[in-house]
Amino acid sequence: MVNLGNRCRPVARATGWLLLTALPAAAFGQGGTFSKYVVSAQEAHAADVGRDALRAGGNAIDAAVATAFALAVTLPEAGNLGGGGFIVAYLPGSREVVTLDFRETAPGSATPRMYLDPEGKLRPRHRAGAWAAGVPGTVRGLGDAHAKWGKLPWRDLVKPAARLAREGFPLSEELASALNGQLRPRNPDAPTGTPGRPAFQNRLVDFPESVAAYGKPDGQPWKGGERLVQADLAATLDRIAANGADEFYTGRTADLIAGYMFENGGSVTHKDLADYGAKERSPVHTTFRGCDVYGIGPASSGGIVLCQMLNILERYDLKADGPKSPRTLHRVTEAMRRAYYTRSTRIGDPDFVDVPFAELASKATADELAKSIDDSRATPSAELAPFPIMATEPDHTTHFSVVDGDGGAVAMTYTLEDSYGAKAVVKGAGFLLNNEMGDFNLRPGRTDDAGSIGTYPNQIAPGKRMLSSQCPTLVLKDGKVRLVTGSPGGRTIPNTTLWVVLNVLEFGLEPQAAVDAPRTHHQWFPDVLVLEGRDWPVETLKALSDMGHKWRIADRQGDANSVVVDLADGRLFGAPDARRATVKASGD
């Protein structure tokens, strides 16, 4: 918790707004300014729920809680009760930046090699089913956030989600198509693959409870506009609304989770659920171009990685060369490479590993890292490691950003890990389990050039939080909110967030242009620079190759739904990211 003292003043005293952003591809580049408040989310009904919380006099925390519960109904691929995440918030009353860690934890029976066979290979389908799940943190995190900082009654924030589940909501074309893909019957003659390398990805169709929860009652494919009703999920939300977050961890819902785990080879027990707790932690902090940047600390790597990259890049005049110049791209890549090396070797759950996060996010550490950057040559990633890198053997989240009428702000990212998590719905409870155990380093001691990391800080231990890349971020200028951002996207998340921050603070782009601009990604290993989009000039690609960069093109990176504030006049810009569809801006 950071007290910002008398420097903090509300961003907008008379008006409030909430941004949970993204707009459909057809509306690419269309943001907006608002006089009272706005909710913009990856799903329209959830956006309306958050807007209604603000209409009722709630603050940013209330709106975030209400929207998060609604997304658990209307965005099943990522919104969740069975997952976990992080909040970074600015509290205008106390003038503090606070963070809440509600990341999932390993069950009490977990061991470092639990997902390996006797030969050290990953067991088949280790990312699906009850066995893949950690202890969920979302409900406890939302409950603690509300208890600490919310205003409206808890019941009023959960009931709209229960109503959506009970009465149903019309499916978008995108969600109908996604569910049909998950529920399509398998070809019984299709190969099943070899141990450790299944020939297909698990889908909802592989789990009877998931088919019951998300399948159309007549067994036919879904069509856009048809209503999805989730009676079991509605009952679970009703219990949570009536009895608080404890119901999920010690009540009827806990019985359903533990029973499903016992019957399906999972590891989460009644005791694991009862023992789970969210943790308020100190934010990670640095400065960049005269602004204060606040991020989430371990068990997420996102805040440290972002701050370390910004600290390295602050020594360069990137604006002089422009965001797409070869020299800028080279310098950004080298900063990414070093920060992701730090991620892989120094960061884990701080309750189990000593993580000197203030030191890692410091200017002095960045100075040391920057000494090894050659402005004309790419550094081979293997040169950074003091241990051998082995040869190669033959991810879904959602982020939203909130600012209320008193200048309070929330950046929240939460996830099931893969799209639809473990693909397994808890029988009788109606929600999907996470498959977050796969975010641990599953092969202790094995780090290879394909990106498999086996370093100690993130190896499995009972009760330990798996390392995350989530990066909810607040940027303040003279104590006033300047930018709220973050993204889904697995290990790409800190780099997506970095580009939004650079585009706003370094390159001075307009809010929507800052979000729309192409992004890049490098994560130490694989030693490959990923360039988003297909409009990179041939001369730029050749220059990168001449410096020794190996690169490839990707169609899309991240979904950075952001809020930008013009501090000169207090205007509030919703800067939605159109890289994903099924979205809406809703406000007054």
**Rounded Cα–Cα distance for residues 159 and 454 (Å):** 43
Backbone CA torsion sign across 214, 217, 220, 223: negative
Please tell me what DSSP assigns to residue 122: B
- From the candidates 67, 74, 328, 397, give the one annotated as an active-site residue: 397
Using alpha carbons, list the distances in angstroms from residue 436 to 127, 236, 381. 8, 22, 27
**Rounded Cα–Cα distance for residues 143 and 348 (Å):** 25
138 within 8 A of 68, measured Cβ to Cβ: yes
Tokens of 417: 């890990």
**Rounded Cα–Cα distance for residues 297 and 64 (Å):** 20
DSSP 460-524: --TTPBPPB----EEEEETTEEEEEE---SGGGHHHHHHHHHIIIIIS---HHHHHHS--EE--S
Does 397 participate in catalysis according to the annotation? yes
- Cβ-proximal residues to 262 (8 Å cutoff; 6+ apart), any chain: none
* Spatial CA neighbour of 134 closest among 236, 304, 275, 251: 275
| SS3 of residue 256 by DSSP | helix
Tokens of 430: 């109606």
**Rounded Cα–Cα distance for residues 498 and 307 (Å):** 9
**Rounded Cα–Cα distance for residues 333 and 524 (Å):** 9
537 within 8 A of 527, measured Cβ to Cβ: no
343 within 8 A of 301, measured Cβ to Cβ: yes
Check residue 65 and give left, alpha or beta (phi > 0: left; psi -120 to 50: alpha).
alpha
Tokens of 581: 């569809």
User: At 539, which amino acid appears?
Assistant: E
What are φ and ψ of residue 241, in 5° steps?
-60, -40
333 within 8 A of 378, measured Cβ to Cβ: yes
User: At 252, which amino acid appears?
Assistant: R
**Rounded Cα–Cα distance for residues 374 and 366 (Å):** 15
Tokens of 227: 């209503």
**Rounded Cα–Cα distance for residues 400 and 105 (Å):** 23
* Residues with catalytic function: 397
